[in-house]
Amino acid sequence: MIRIVLLICLVLIGWRVFLRRTKLPIHIVLVFGVLGLAAGAVLFPDVTTDIAHIVGVGRGVDLINYLVDVGILFVILHYYLKFVELEERITHLVREIALLRAQGKPSEARVNRPNPVV
């Protein structure tokens, strides 16, 4: 029963990724590759144990946990670096706007906003 639930969850994740495909094709292929490996691990758990023994880990579940931990750390680091980069870009833009306003060029520093409806 748990295998069916896990496979349904993997299919739903794949469906959501497919519907929201705004990334590069390599990202989509990577996500579907990981989902395929996860489905293989659900359908054939003995294979993960065999692979775990080959790489020196006791059980397949432990190997999967280690891989997930490394993957999560990678994602956290990736988004942290993106956040820092965006923060630096926003700081640069705010400084540039402040300098333009200080020079007395409000027309260039103003953001084009629609007029409010009265």
Residue 15 binned pLDDT confidence (cut-offs 50, 70, 90): confident
pLDDT at residue 23 is higher than 80: no
3-state SS track over the chain: CHHHHHHHHHHHHHHHHHHCCCCCHHHHHHHHHHHHHHHHHHHCHHHHHHHHHHHCCCCHHHHHHHHHHHHHHHHHHHHHHHHHHHHHHHHHHHHHHHHHHHCCCHHHHCCCCCCCCC
Domains of the chain, by residue range, sit at: 1-43, 60-106
Structure tokens at 56: 């020196």
pTM of the model: 0.65
- The pLDDT confidence band at residue 114, using thresholds 50, 70 and 90, is low
Tokens of 102: 């200080």
Reported confidence tier of residue 10, pLDDT bands at 50, 70, 90: confident
